[in-house]
């Protein structure tokens, strides 16, 4: 089994001052990467700021013999992200890896949640990933190499009470991955998503104490290392936590074709069991696959050639 190495690679990791981000930064550095440790240093709800968290992790990496710089950019501010990317390029001349890990929580039931809290969580998780990825995209295209990792959550993929804002943002990054992997593949930019379960500040009080010892950030980071590596897959949602590893895929059922005279709500309802049957479901790689499937059904009904 060959060791996964990142010698001469440069990685930016957002939200790396604590928890999963810190674990990611330390492990990539241990494997040879040069690290930009990004962290605003705020509280879990996004308030406040301090450079000490990022600098502490960067110092830890340097003390262990690695190379790292700290940057306190707010991922919701494109200008600050641009400055961080420029510092990385000036320091090392390249950016190979981006890990979009920064996040906040403002949990409340949807009925009680303010629009401000909804919007801010979207700004940090989704738009933060957009701002950071946009800033590194051109350097990666020019270098014909890049590894971008989004961070999703079961709260977005499956749902979790009281996290409408967080869930919407976390599913949003999956959609971002789906498109960027198509646009980046001819430049050898691979875009994947990590869906972690770990004991961090975000899980305080949510998980029974005996189980917490199993939910280590390091167990999640093992998956992150793969997604950031030269041999990374592409467009993969890798779920990781407590030693468990799985992949989430979005499938589409074969569905049915209804001729024009039956294309009514009543006929759709009458066929709902067939429409939702999982037999023969497919994992489409891009949106046009669905269009061609439906056109094929229609063309067959009317005996039309589909070139």
Within the chain, strands assigned E span 10-13, 34-38, 68-71, 97-99, 146-151, 189-196, 237-241, 244-248
Report the SS3 class of residue 41. Answer: coil
What's phi and psi for 148, nearest 5 deg?
-115, 130
Instruction: Name the active-site residue from 166, 187, 251, 257.
Output: 166
Residue 145 annotated among the catalytic residues of the structure: no
- One DSSP character per residue, 122-177 reads HIIIIIHHHHHHHHHHHHHHHHT-EEEEEE--HHHHT--TTBHHHHHHHHHHHHHH
Rounded CA-CA distance 85/79 in Å is 10
Strands 146-151 and 189-196, sheet pairing: parallel
Instruction: Count the Cβ atoms, other than its own, within 10 Å of residue 292.
Output: 12
Residues marked active site are found at 166
């Amino acid at each position: 089994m060959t060791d996964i190495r990142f010698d001469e690679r440069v990685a930016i990791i957002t939200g790396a001052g604590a928890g999963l981000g810190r674990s990611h930064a330390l492990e990539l550095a241990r494997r040879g990467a040069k690290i930009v440790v990004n962290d605003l240093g705020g509280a879990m709800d996004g308030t406040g700021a301090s450079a000490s968290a990022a600098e502490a992790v960067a110092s830890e990496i340097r003390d262990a013999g690695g190379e790292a710089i700290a940057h306190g950019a707010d991922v919701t501010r494109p200008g600050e992200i641009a400055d961080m990317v420029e510092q990385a390029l000036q320091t090392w001349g390249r950016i190979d890896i981006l890990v979009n890990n920064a996040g906040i929580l403002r949990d409340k039931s949807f009925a009680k949640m303010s629009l401000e809290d909804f919007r801010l969580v979207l700004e940090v998780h989704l738009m933060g990933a957009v701002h950071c990825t946009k800033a590194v995209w051109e350097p990666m295209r020019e270098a014909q190499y890049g590894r971008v990792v989004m961070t999703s959550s079961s709260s977005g993929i499956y749902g979790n009470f009281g996290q409408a804002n967080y869930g919407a943002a976390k599913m949003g990054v999956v959609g971002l991955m789906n498109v960027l992997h198509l646009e980046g593949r001819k430049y050898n930019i691979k875009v994947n998503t990590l869906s972690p379960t770990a004991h961090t500040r975000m899980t305080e009080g949510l998980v029974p104490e005996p189980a917490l010892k199993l939910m280590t950030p390091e167990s999640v980071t093992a998956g992150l290392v793969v997604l950031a590596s030269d041999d990374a897959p592409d467009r993969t949602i890798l779920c990781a936590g407590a030693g468990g590893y799985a992949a989430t895929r979005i499938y589409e059922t074969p569905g049915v074709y209804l001729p024009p005279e039956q294309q009514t709500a009543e006929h759709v309802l009458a066929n709902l069991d067939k429409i939702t049957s999982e037999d023969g479901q497919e994992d489409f790689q891009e949106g046009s696959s669905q269009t061609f499937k439906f056109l094929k059904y229609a063309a067959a009904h009317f005996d039309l050639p589909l070139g």
